[in-house]
Amino acid sequence: MTDKKDDDHFAVPAPKKPSPQQAPPLKYDKPGWGAVAQYNYAFEVLKGGLSVERIEGPRKDCITIGRLPLCDLQMEHPSISRYHAIIQFNEDSDAFLYDLESAHGTRLNKRPVPARTHMRIRQGDQIRFGESTRLYIFETEKPVDEEQVAQEEAEVALRHRSRASDAEHAAEADNDDGISWGFGEDAEEEPEDEDEREPAQGDAALIDIDAEKAASADEKKRKQQLEIMFNDDDGEESLYDKTAPRKKQKKSDKAETYDELVIRQAATERELASLEKRIQDKEKQDAAEKKAADDEQDLDAYMKEISNKDDDVPLYKLKSNLAKLKKEHGRLVRLVALTKPTNIFQ
């Protein structure tokens, strides 16, 4: 009786459906300063120097990049990790690139990105993930804050020059220590005299070296500040590529007058208007190419037509040049305001 009751309550368990493979956890802690992007942004994808795709970024505080299907920006190249990198935004909608200790690394403007470090990225910056041949050009609709860019670039330049100065002083100190060989035999001939002179020479040498280093550091700091304010022609590339030799520039022997600065400002404004028109024409040209892509004959005819034109500068390069020109225009505006003569009779 008991066995029959147990049999009535027995039921064969339903077969379990195979659970999908769980994705690995994302090892990334969002920073406290993170915030949702307030401006539209995108990535223009280049392959072999040609634009092959444009990816509009989602409005999130951060986006994931990797081979996993759940990544916001999914990639297929085998050298790219499942979770490869992060694009993090802050309250000012500034973007930062963060490498998640990927196997083959990430490059920003041809330079390796240190793992687990937020690296600022700007309009026109080039990003390469792993060993993929595709370049991702970052584009954003956020207006360029010329003063902030100039300040950040000045800080980067000062840090770089400070490290170079420290290395130079270290090399000089090594050279000073290195020439001490060969004096041992002289020391043995007159040990008593050397014992009497050594403390005085050591103290005097330390004072002289410290004074020389302090004077040299002050002089270099003054030169750096003057160069940053009045000789900002190195451009953006020299700040990104610190290994490249510094370009020799022919500096003017005399400072520019107010009238000369006004002329340069007006010329820069004309260049800005011309470059903005070129960008508009280029955007229309790219849109026409995409529209004609469905018709092979129309596309061939259109490509033959535009191949005869000398102007074949990529759109991202034009926008990068526009940002540099706006920066130069802002610098000229500030210099014109500083050098404007005051009328004491007003």
Q: In 3-state terms, what secondary structure has residue 271? A: helix
What are the backbone angles phi and psi of residue 218, rounded to the nearest 5°?
-65, -40
For residues 166-187, average pLDDT? 59
Residue 105: pLDDT over 70: yes
> Amino acid letter at 177?
D
Please tell me the distance from the alpha carbon of residue 143 to that of residue 141, in angstroms, as a whole number: 6
For residues 180-193, average pLDDT? 49
Q: What is the pLDDT of residues 56-91, one digit of tens each?
A: 999 999 999 999 999 999 999 999 999 999 999 999
Band of pLDDT at residue 341, cut at 50, 70 and 90: confident
Q: How many CB atoms lie within 10 A of CB 83?
A: 22
pLDDT of residue 176: 58
Q: What is the pLDDT of residues 200-235, one digit of tens each?
A: 455 445 555 555 666 666 666 655 655 555 544 444
pLDDT of residue 235: 44
Higher-pLDDT residue of 139 and 6 is 139
Q: Give DSSP secondary structure letters for 164-218.
A: HHHHHHHHHHHHHHHTTTT-HHHHHHSHHHHHHHHHHHHHHHHHHHHHHHHHHHH
Of the CA atoms within 13 Å of residue 36, those in its CB half-sphere come to 4
Q: In the chain, which ranges are continuous DSSP H helix?
A: 2-9, 146-178, 184-189, 191-230, 235-240, 258-292, 296-307, 315-339
Kindly calculate the radius of gyration of the chain based on its CA atoms and give it in whole angstroms: 31
Average per-residue pLDDT for the chain: 75
